[in-house]
Structure 1
Amino acid sequence: IADLIDGARPISLYLVIPPSDISRTKPLIRLVLNQIGRRLTERLDQSPTSRRHQLLLMLDEFPALGRLDFFETSLAFMAGYGIRAFLIAQSLNQIEKAYGEHNAILDNCHVRVAFATNDERTAKRISDALGTATEQRAMRNYAGHRLAPWLAHVMVSRQETARALLTPGEVMQLPATEELVLISGLAPIRATKLRYFEDRNFSRRVAPAPKLADGLYADRPVARSNDWGQFARLPDARLVRAEDLTGVDEDGGPQQQRLPGLANDATPRVGDADRAVQTALEDDDNVAADARAMEQARGLTPAARGYGLNEGSHGDLIPGLGS
Structure 2
Amino acid sequence: MLLLLDEFPKLGSLPFLENAMGEMAGYGITAHLICQSFNDVFSKYGDKTPLFDNMHITATFATSEPTSIEKVTRRAGKALEMRESYSDPRSLFGRAHRSTSQSEQQRYILSEEDVRGLDDRKQFLFVNNTKPILADKIRYYEEPFFKARTGDYFHGVPAAYEQRPGAADLPGPASIDWRGVRAVCAPPEPFAGVRVPKPRYSGADGPAEVPGAPEAVLAADYLTMAPVAALRADDDDGSL
Would the TM-score normalized by the shorter structure come out above 0.5? yes
Structure 1 runs of 4+ aligned residues shifted over 4 Å read 140-145, 151-154
TM-score (norm. length: structure 2): 0.59
Structure-2 residue corresponding to 1:133: 79
More helix by share: 1
Change (3 A) 1:140 1:254: closer
The verdict on how the C-alpha distance between 1:254 and 1:188 changes in structure 2, with shifts beyond 3 A counting, is same
Aligned counterparts of 2:137 and 2:75: Cα–Cα separation in 1: 20
Structure 2: gaps spanning 5 or more residues: 152-186, 194-198, 210-240
Q: Distance in 1 between matches of 2:200 and 2:26?
A: 56
5+ residue gaps, structure 1? 1-54, 217-245, 257-323
- Give 1:171's aligned amino acid: V
Q: Which of 47, 51, 63 is the equivalent residue of 1:117?
A: 63
Structure with more relative contact order (C-alpha pairs < 8 Å, separation 6 or more)? 2
Which residue in 2 is equivalent to 1:193?
137
Check the 8 A contact 1:124/1:167 in 2, yes or no: no
**Alignment map for 1:1-323 (pairs within 5 Å):** 55-141=1-87, 153=97, 155-200=99-144, 202-203=145-146, 207-208=149-150, 214=191, 247-253=200-206
RMSD: 3.2
Change in Cα spacing, 1:156 to 1:72, as seen in structure 2 (3 Å) is same
Deviation of the 1:155 alpha carbon: 3.5
Partner Cα distance (1:158, 1:193) in 2? 40
Partner Cα separation in structure 2 for residue 106 and residue 194 of structure 1: 23
Report the CA distance between 1:69 and its aligned residue: 1.5
**1:173 shift after superposition:** 2.1
How far apart, in 1, do the equivalents of 2:190 and 2:20 lie?
A: 38
- Tell me the alpha carbon deviations over residues 52-100 of structure 1, each in whole angstroms, 9 at most, x when there is no partner: xxx1121111110111121221211111111111111001111111112
2: CA distance between counterparts of 1:143 and 1:95? Answer: 53
Aligned pair in 2 of structure 1 residues 177, 249: CA closer, same or farther (>3 Å)?
closer
Would you say how many aligned residue pairs link Structure 1 and Structure 2?
166
- In the TM superposition, what is the alpha-carbon distance from 1:137 to its structure 2 partner? 1.2
Which string of whole-angstrom CA distances, capped at 9 and with x for unpartnered residues, describes residues 10-61 of structure 1? xxxxxxxxxxxxxxxxxxxxxxxxxxxxxxxxxxxxxxxxxxxxx1121111
Give the conservation status (yes or no) of the 8 Å contact 1:123–1:169: no
Q: Equivalents in 2 of 1:197, 1:253: separation in Å? A: 52
Which is further off, 152-161 or 162-171? 152-161
Q: Which has the larger radius of gyration?
A: 1
Over 3 Å counting, the alpha-carbon distance change for 1:116 and 1:208 in structure 2 is closer
Bigger strand share: 2
